[in-house]
Amino acid sequence: MITLTKDELNLVQKHLKTITIILQNHACSNITPEFREDLKKISDNHKLNFCSTCNSGLWNICAQVYAAYNKYITKENNNAKRSKTKHT
């Protein structure tokens, strides 16, 4: 699994709605060039195969990026809970 940088996390958060639509529906009717470019940046940074013309390739990258994003969010939430229980 990939680990996203802060800049990459910001890109994911910017496009989170589009990513979740793609993953839930296995399709999306409106993919902006900016979205594709941002996913390509993340893919290149982690040496992931990214096909800009292939719907299954786009879904695969979205799934990997979303999994990394969820891992980060879960870790942050767990750290916040631990920190809160230590102070109470």
Domain range list for the chain:
6-87
pTM of the model: 0.85
Q: What is the separation of C-alpha 85 from the centre of its chain, rounded to a whole number of angstroms?
A: 29
Alpha-carbon torsion (22, 26, 28, 34), positive or negative: positive
The single-letter code of the amino acid at 18 is T
- For every residue of 29-40, DSSP letters joined together read S---HHHHHHHH
Q: How many other C-beta atoms lie within 10 A of the C-beta of residue 8?
A: 20
pLDDT tens by residue, 26-81:
887 788 999 999 999 999 999 998 887 778 888 999 999 999 999 999 999 888 87
Residue 79 confidence (pLDDT): 85
Q: What's the length of the chain?
A: 88
Residue 28 confidence (pLDDT): 79
Residue 66 confidence (pLDDT): 97
Bigger pLDDT: 85 or 20?
A: 20
SS3 81: helix
How far is Cα 79 from Cα 83, in angstroms, rounded to an integer?
Answer: 6
